[in-house]
């Protein structure tokens, strides 16, 4: 029997800071690179979710894995460093992107039962692992908008937006 290493701490991953919305490896490195790399990541653990360990064929809602970026985020300097790509089931990935999950609920894109299932399941996985969801409440110093940058292999990529107002115009529907 193969033992699958799980990393529930991935469910604590903070949201990407607003200045870096739309700045990601998929966009920067291109679709071909991203597709190749994510397929490697999926195979790395035998098509099991890194956070909960479910095999893609046993996952609820979707029978596939989704790729997520694992970052080191320094809120003081605005540095967001790509550590690696990870494979997640739909529920774990949706739990990490809780803001988008709530928007989808509010817009009627998903039912409340699905929202409740995903949030409860994620909290239960964290509780079992002795972890708490990330809230952002511990952030005391935050970099200025123009200091935020994504770092991939030592190269820096800055915001697509000059300021929060420009960001709001793009994401107003969310």
Q: Is residue 104 part of a domain?
A: yes
- Residues 13 and 71: their CA atoms lie apart, in Å, by 8
Q: Is residue 24 part of a domain?
A: yes
Q: Which strands make up the sheet holding 66-74, listed edge to edge? A: 66-74, 79-88, 149-152, 155-158
**Whole-prediction pTM:** 0.90
Q: Is residue 3 part of a domain?
A: no
The domain total for the chain is 1
CB of 50 within 8 A of CB of 10? yes
Angle at which helices 98-106 and 112-128 pack, to 10 degrees?
160
Q: Is residue 77 part of a domain?
A: no
Q: Is residue 149 part of a domain?
A: no
pLDDT at 139 over 80: no
Which residues contact residue 34 at a Cβ distance below 8 angstroms, ignoring those fewer than 6 apart?
25, 26, 67
Residue-wise pLDDT tens digits, 102-120: 999 999 999 999 999 999 9
Banded pLDDT at 68 (limits 50, 70, 90): very high
CB of 87 within 8 A of CB of 66? yes
Instruction: Give the range among 52-56, 130-134, 160-164 with minimum mean pLDDT.
Output: 130-134
Q: Is residue 151 part of a domain?
A: no
Banded pLDDT at 173 (limits 50, 70, 90): low
Residue-wise pLDDT tens digits, 81-99: 999 999 999 999 999 999 8
pLDDT at 52 over 90: yes
**What is the per-residue pLDDT for 96?**
95
* Exposed e or buried b per residue across 57-84, where buried means at least 16 C-beta atoms within 10 angstroms of its C-beta: eebeeeeebbbbbebebebeebbbebee
Q: Between these two residues, 4 and 12, which has the higher pLDDT value?
A: 12
CA 163 distance to own-chain centroid: 23
Q: Is residue 157 part of a domain?
A: no
Q: Is residue 32 part of a domain?
A: yes
**What is the per-residue pLDDT for 136?**
67
**What is the per-residue pLDDT for 171?**
81
Q: Computed from CA positions of residues 65, 39, 4, 133, in that sequence, does the dihedral angle turn out positive or negative?
A: negative
Q: Between these two residues, 133 and 138, which has the higher pLDDT value?
A: 133
Residue 54: count of CB within 10 angstroms of its CB:
20
Domain that holds residue 61: 8-69+84-137
pLDDT at 138 over 70: no
User: Average model confidence (pLDDT) for the chain?
Assistant: 93
């Amino acid at each position: 029997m193969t033992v699958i290493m799980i990393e529930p701490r991935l469910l604590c991953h903070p949201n990407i800071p607003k200045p870096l919305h739309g700045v990601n490896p998929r966009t920067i490195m291109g679709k071909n690179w991203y597709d190749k790399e994510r397929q490697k990541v999926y195979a790395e653990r035998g098509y099991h979710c890194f956070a909960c360990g479910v095999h893609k064929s046993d996952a609820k809602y979707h029978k596939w894995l989704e790729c997520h970026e694992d970052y080191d985020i320094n809120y003081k300097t605005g540095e967001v460093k790509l550590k690696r790509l990870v494979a997640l089931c739909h529920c774990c990935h949706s739990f990490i992107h809780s803001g988008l999950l709530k928007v989808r609920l509010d817009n009627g894109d998903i039912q409340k039962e699905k929202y409740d299932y995903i949030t409860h399941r994620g909290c239960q996985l964290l509780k079992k692992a002795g972890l708490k969801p990330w809230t952002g409440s511990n952030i005391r110093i935050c970099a200025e908008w123009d200091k935020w940058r994504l770092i991939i292999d030592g190269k820096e990529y800055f915001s697509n937006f000059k300021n929060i107002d420009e960001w709001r115009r793009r994401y107003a529907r969310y």
